[in-house]
Chain A
């Protein structure tokens, strides 16, 4: 199993550009989530999904959209990037809920100029 994979590893955007961060898992996990990590602030939950077709907001959802059309994929979309979205983004999955062990991907480092 590849586990949780994320692409790209690093991206530079200009303010106002859009992009999609990809996340995929091959463990047949129902629960997937997106976090951002900023220095000194820990990981903050952006959006999560408890299964295909079901998504919900986390702590910091503004400026981000998600969808979950398949169990395997959970892309995160930035519609109009802002410098405040410069961060490291982690995708995570687990079999059945946020209270269980989270399996994290390697992260995407995003720089918005």
Chain B
């Protein structure tokens, strides 16, 4: 069966450092991979989308990589700030783009 794994343990880092979150998947050949941010009590908010033929995507302090050989995506936040503290979800698109499967999310805590 299809499976997406994100580190369920919280990631604690110091302000100013780079946070790196991992998303691994099995039994997929996704066309797209997306990353979302979710704050407590709120719905997820889209951050970045990367296609299978793209290796890297950047948006301001965010960078996403997509390695279809390793079946892994890395999500980086550079110069992290306490306001970046949230849960980050990765999601894969399959079934001709009509279905989106999410990982369990990783909670990031940035300490001042």
Residues of A within 8 A of B (CB): 4, 31, 33, 35, 40-45, 48, 50, 56, 58-59, 90, 92, 97-107
Residue B112 CB within 8 A of the other chain? no
Residues of B within 8 A of A (CB): 4, 6, 8, 31-32, 34, 36, 41-46, 49, 89, 91, 93, 95, 97-105
Q: Please report the C-alpha to C-alpha distance between residue A43 and residue B41 in the assembled complex, in whole angstroms.
A: 14
For A42, the chain B residues whose CB sits under 8 A away are 4, 6, 89, 102-105
A-B contact count (CB 8 A): 66
Cβ A90 vs Cβ B44 within 8 A: yes
Cβ B101 vs Cβ A97 within 8 A: no
Distance of B17 from chain A, by nearest CB (Å): 26
Q: Please report the C-alpha to C-alpha distance between residue A50 and residue B46 in the assembled complex, in whole angstroms.
A: 20
Besides A42-B6, A98-B97, A101-B34, 14 other A-B contacts (C-beta < 8 A): A42-B4, A42-B102, A42-B105, A43-B44, A45-B99, A45-B101, A58-B99, A59-B101, A92-B43, A98-B93, A99-B97, A101-B49, A102-B44, A104-B44
